[in-house]
Structure 1
Amino acid sequence: MTPHSAIVTGAGRGFGRALTTALAHPDRTVVACGRDPARLRAATDGLPGVVALAGDVTDPRFRAELVAAAGERLDLLVHNAGELGPSPLPALHAYPLDALRAVLETTVLAPLALTQLALPALRANRGTVVTLSSDAAVEAYPGWGGYGSAKAALDQLAAVLGAEEPELGVYAFDPGDMRTEMHQRAFPGEDISDRPEPEAVVPALLRLLAEHPGSGRYRAADLADQTVGEPA
């Protein structure tokens, strides 16, 4: 699949930045968004076809601006923006509820709201929706109750959307551990240099988009095989 127009959230750093760079092409529009204007400019400056819009995906007006910028040819929506929550990661018995609301707002509610706005164009173009998953969505790790439960909810939204919209490709993509600022915040003071850079993981998602299998949950590690297998 070669998108005509794409939206990538959380494009100012990490996996979103690496994916935006890989998708950039003069013949397509990539609408890249992030909260930090300076960081987003630095991430996207000079990339062909990239429209950088700074804002917060939890803002309804900003979501409308993203969809309008992508236009009628929108056929790829990547929900990469997320919220880790407090660092160090707290146990559930001490998890601040206001912090959990913020995690859910950014990681679950905003992606659903943005998808709802984008669906008319995505349907018209038989497009693709990608949500960034995590092994914390399916495994019980102490301290990961907030982030993990949000990603589990996002996984389920993607699964149901795939069932409700059979003409679309809807993928929950688990990139695995990566050497990102968010991952470092999850492990303050620890050395995470053994994790792969986001740029090393992007080819797995590009392969998923190119082969366009049935909707489902896919892991980057599995996409290293010769053919795309069954969803995880």
Structure 2
Amino acid sequence: MAQQPTALVTGASRGLGRALAADLSADGWRVVVDARHGDALADAVAGLPDVVDVPGDVADPAHRATLAETVDDLGGLDLLVLNASLLGPSPQPRLADYPLDVLEQVLRVNVLAPLGLVQSLGPLLRPGARILAITSDAGAEPMDGWGGYGTSKAALEFLASVLAVENPQWHVLVVDPGDMRTVMHQEAFPGEDISDRPEPETVVPALRVLVDGDHPSGRYRAADLAPVTS
């Protein structure tokens, strides 16, 4: 890229979002980041060069408009990372017992908000831009107790596949990072020891394979793209 590349990474106050934002920043990218909690977001990106933090909830249309204005002021976007996500209740209830009002909230954050971001930022995506939609194995296969979250990720994956067909000028890349040692993963398994899971930073090289390469739109597993070290 002749000009400094620009990325927007949602859910960047911790976990994979923060790890990817830090890696891009260190590699000379200009990075816009968001998360619901402004103080945590500011702490997470403190000291990172060329990072603009815009706190807010991706499910809020006004916040998405602010993100679009920020990106517009920077001249456009090369990479949109749809990472912000909502797990739902912890522990995960079975679908027959899932509170519908909570499921509605999960779908709003995990499905409608990503589409809203694409709608808001689409005109600002440069030719050949990458859209990375972070998914889960729960979105590809039925798992006991994961019906709510899995349904939202399955919907996100289908949404991404349609966007790819309708917008061949973009690389719409759905990526399953695998299990990681994150707050969300701990919430999914309350009381369990997840210290054997790899840190999010170990997954970033696989994401960079998609960001920096010329992979066609589709679904990818991080484990198939690059070695993940513990």
2:8·2:79 contact (CA, 8 Å) conserved in 1?
A: yes
The letter for the 1-side match of 2:191 is G
2:127·2:169 contact (CA, 8 Å) conserved in 1?
A: no
1:141-180 alignment, distance < 5 Å: 141-180=143-182
Task: Structure 2: state its 5+ residue gaps.
Answer: none
TM-score (norm 2): 0.94
How many pairs does the alignment contain?
224
Structure 1 residue 28: Cα displacement: 3.4
Identity %: 54
The corresponding residue for 1:119 is 122
Task: Structure 1: state its 5+ residue gaps.
Answer: 226-232
RMSD of the TM alignment (CA)?
1.5
The corresponding residue for 1:8 is 9
Q: Mark the CA change 1:109 to 1:10 in structure 2 (over 3 Å): closer, same or farther.
A: same
Q: Mark the CA change 1:120 to 1:13 in structure 2 (over 3 Å): closer, same or farther.
A: same
The corresponding residue for 1:60 is 61
SS in 2 for 1:221: helix
1:21 and 2:22 correspond:
yes
Q: Deviations over 1:102-150 (max 9, x none)?
A: 100000000001101111111x433111100100001111110000000
Structure 1 residue 29: Cα displacement: 2.1
Provide the C-alpha distance between the structure 1 equivalents of 2:112 and 2:4, rounded to a whole number of angstroms. 25
TM-score (norm 1): 0.93
Provide the C-alpha distance between the structure 2 equivalents of 1:26 and 1:182, rounded to a whole number of angstroms. 27
Structure 1 residue 77: Cα displacement: 0.5
2:4·2:28 contact (CA, 8 Å) conserved in 1?
A: no
Provide the C-alpha distance between the structure 2 equivalents of 1:224 and 1:22, rounded to a whole number of angstroms. 16
Provide the C-alpha distance between the structure 2 equivalents of 1:93 and 1:26, rounded to a whole number of angstroms. 47
Provide the C-alpha distance between the structure 2 equivalents of 1:213 and 1:185, rounded to a whole number of angstroms. 33
Structure 1 residue 3: Cα displacement: 6.7
Q: Deviations over 1:178-214 (max 9, x none)?
A: 0000000000000011110000001100011111211
